Amino acid sequence: MRFLNFVPLALCVHDVLAAGPPVFFFTKFPTSTTALRDELITRMDNISRWSCTNEPGVTKYALVIPRGGGDNLTAYSIEQYDDDPTFLSHLSAPLVSTSLFSWSTSTPNLWTSDPLVQNFTLLPNDMTFSKPEFAKASNPYIVVESLTYTSGGVHHVMDHWEEEVAAARNETGTLLFGVYGDPTNNNRLWTLAAYESEQYWREVHEKSETARELRFAWWAAEELVGLGSRFYCYNLTDNFPAEVDKILAYLNFDMVSQGTYYVSDGDGSTGRGWRTQPSADVIEKLWLDYFAGIGIAAKERAIGFDSDHFFFQEILKKSVGFLSRAWMLRRILAIIRRVTISIM
Tens of pLDDT along the chain (344 residues) come to 455 677 777 777 766 655 668 899 999 999 999 999 999 999 999 998 898 889 888 888 888 888 877 789 999 999 999 999 999 999 999 999 988 999 999 999 999 999 999 999 988 877 899 898 888 888 899 999 988 876 777 877 788 888 889 999 999 999 999 999 999 998 899 999 999 998 998 888 887 755 567 888 888 877 676 778 888 999 988 888 888 887 888 888 876 666 677 787 777 777 776 677 767 787 888 878 778 777 877 888 777 776 788 888 888 888 888 877 655 555 555 555 555 544 44
Q: Are 74 and 37 in contact (CB under 8 A)?
A: yes
User: CA 157 to CA 97: how far, in whole Å?
Assistant: 41
Reference 60, options 182, 194, 205; nearest CA is: 194
- Pairing state of beta strands 262-264 and 299-301? parallel
User: CA 157 to CA 147: how far, in whole Å?
Assistant: 11
Reference 178, options 35, 7, 13, 344; nearest CA is: 13
85 residue type, one letter? P
User: CA 335 to CA 322: how far, in whole Å?
Assistant: 19
Q: Tell me how far CA of residue 212 lies from CA of 86, 92, 208, 231, in angstroms.
A: 40, 46, 8, 24
Q: Are 79 and 24 in contact (CB under 8 A)?
A: yes
Helix ranges (H only) for 58-209 are 84-92, 94-96, 103-106, 132-136, 153-169, 198-203
Q: Assign domain 1-120 to its CATH architecture.
A: 2-Layer Sandwich (3.30)
Reference 181, options 116, 125, 115; nearest CA is: 125
Reference 121, options 192, 163, 179; nearest CA is: 179
- Quick check: do 123-211 and 227-343 share a fold? no
- Structural domain boundaries of the chain? 1-120, 123-211, 227-343
pTM over 0.85: no
Helix ranges (H only) for 55-93 are 84-92
User: CA 153 to CA 156: how far, in whole Å?
Assistant: 5
Question: In the CATH hierarchy, which fold is given to the domain comprising 227-343?
Answer: Aminopeptidase (3.40.630)
| CATH, domain range 123-211 | 3.30.70.100
